[in-house]
Amino acid sequence: MSDVETDVRAYTLRLELVDEPGELLRSLRPIADNGGNLLSIFHERGNVTPRGHIPVEVDVEATPARFERIIDGLREAGINVIQAGTERYSEGLTVILSGHVIDTDLSDTLSRIQESANASVTDLSLAAPEGTANVSSARISIAAEKGASEAVLDKLRAVADEKELRLIEPLAS
């Protein structure tokens, strides 16, 4: 087999889903059926596209051939694929936000990280030991394009400052 047939890559799909029960699951079926490995899902239920649908970003790993079959499967299922392409995320960083993380709209914070064309949130852990109205913290793992970590951190710093959150940055190498 050639390297192209076995070369697994990370891809980002931007989908537009109708706001109905089961639509997210229906959009994931072609990914599973065509051999895609799910990395992350960012479901922005609070936002809508100009057509009144829900934007969803899905990161998957697949060979190029499987990725093409995934795209075809999504379109055959009637899922609107807004954008599909390779994202070469080669740098990872994990940060911690502390303060009123939930009260200052965690969804907005994550959206603003995701809006950065060179980063994707890959994992989130949330702790609110005294309830959501009190101080909480979030551990956020981010995949960034090579050389983009500092720009992603700058965006995080700005969001943290604006929302009066404490940002614990990764240790420098």
Distance CA 39, CA 149 (A): 19
Residue with tokens 């604006």: 162
Strands 9-17, 54-62: parallel, antiparallel or unpaired by DSSP?
A: antiparallel
> What is the DSSP secondary-structure string of 98-132?
EESTTTTTHHHHHHHHHHSTTEEEEEEEEE-TT-T
The neighbour count for residue 70, using CB atoms within 10 Å, is 24
Tens-place pLDDT, residues 87-121: 555 677 889 999 999 888 888 888 787 666 567 77
Q: What is the mean pLDDT of the chain?
A: 83
Predicted TM-score (pTM) of the model is 0.53
Distance CA 107, CA 118 (A): 19
Domains defined along the chain, listed by start = 3-86 (3.30.70.260), 89-168 (3.30.70.260)
Tens-place pLDDT, residues 16-46: 898 889 999 999 999 999 999 998 898 877 7
